Amino acid sequence: MSKLISLIIPVYNESKSLAALHKALSLVLPTLAYDFEIIFVNDGSRDDSVAEIVKLQNFDNRIKLLDFSRNFGKEIALTAGLNNCVGDAAIMLDADLQHPVELIPEFIAKWEAGAQVVVGVRAKNSKEGIIKRFGSKIFYGIISKISDTKITPNATDFRLVDRVVIDEFNRFTEHSRMTRALIDWLGFERDTVVFQAAPRFAGEASYSVCKLIKLALSSFISLSLLPLKLAGYLGLFIIFTVGPFGLYVLLGKYFFHWPFASSFSGPAQLAFLLLFMVGIILSALGLISLYVASIHGEVIGRPLYVVKKNK
For the sheet with 35-42, list strands across it.
Answer: 63-67, 35-42, 4-11, 89-92, 155-162, 117-122, 190-195
Q: What is the smallest separation between the CB atom of 85 and ligand UDP, expressed in angstroms?
A: 16
Q: What is the smallest separation between the CB atom of 79 and Mg ion, expressed in angstroms?
A: 18
Give the x/- contact pattern for ligand UDP in 100-139, rule: CB under 6 A: ----------------------------------------
Interaction of residue 11 with ligand UDP, rule CB under 6 A: yes
* 84: phi then psi, degrees, rounded to nearest 5: -105, 0
User: Considering beta carbons, is residue 14 or 168 the nearer one to ligand UDP?
Assistant: 14
User: Considering beta carbons, is residue 97 or 166 the nearer one to ligand UDP?
Assistant: 97
Interaction of residue 96 with Mg ion, rule CB under 5 A: yes
Please tell me the distance from the alpha carbon of residue 261 to that of residue 247, in angstroms, as a whole number: 10
User: Considering beta carbons, is residue 95 or 119 the nearer one to ligand UDP?
Assistant: 95
195 makes contact, choosing from ligand UDP, Mg ion, none, with CB < 5 to 8 Å by partner type, with none
Q: What is the smallest separation between the CB atom of 203 and Mg ion, expressed in angstroms?
A: 9
220 makes contact, choosing from Mg ion, ligand UDP, none, with CB < 5 to 8 Å by partner type, with none
Q: What is the DSSP string of the chain?
A: ---EEEEEEEESS-HHHHHHHHHHHHHHGGGSSSEEEEEEEE-S-SSSHHHHHHHHHHH-TTEEEEE-SS---HHHHHHHHHHH--SSEEEE--TTS-S-GGGHHHHHHHHHTT-SEEEEEEPP-TTS-HHHHHHHHHHHHHHHHH-SS---TTEEEEEEEEHHHHHHHTT---SS--HHHHHHHH---EEEEEE-PPPPSSS--S--HHHHHHHHHHHHHHH-SHHHHHHHHHHHHHHHHHHHHHHHHHHIIIII--HHHHT--HHHHHHHHHHHHHHHHHHHHHHHHHHHHHHHHHHHT--S---S---
Residues 68-97 interacting with ligand UDP (rule: CB under 6 A):
71, 73-74, 77, 94-96
Interaction of residue 154 with ligand UDP, rule CB under 6 A: no
95 makes contact, choosing from Mg ion, ligand UDP, none, with CB < 5 to 8 Å by partner type, with ligand UDP
User: Considering beta carbons, is residue 44 or 246 the nearer one to Mg ion?
Assistant: 44
Residues 159-218 interacting with ligand UDP (rule: CB under 6 A):
200, 205-207
100 makes contact, choosing from ligand UDP, Mg ion, none, with CB < 5 to 8 Å by partner type, with none
User: Considering beta carbons, is residue 155 or 164 the nearer one to ligand UDP?
Assistant: 155
User: Considering beta carbons, is residue 202 or 293 the nearer one to ligand UDP?
Assistant: 202
159 makes contact, choosing from Mg ion, ligand UDP, none, with CB < 5 to 8 Å by partner type, with none
- Site for Mg ion (CB under 5 A): which residue of 42, 79, 98, 283? 98
User: Considering beta carbons, is residue 10 or 279 the nearer one to ligand UDP?
Assistant: 10
> How many Å is the Cα radius of gyration of the chain?
26
| # chain residues binding Mg ion, by CB under 5 A | 2
Please tell me the distance from the alpha carbon of residue 35 to that of residue 31, in angstroms, as a whole number: 11
Task: List contacts with ligand UDP (CB under 6 A).
Answer: 10-12, 14, 43, 71, 73-74, 77, 94-96, 98, 200, 205-207
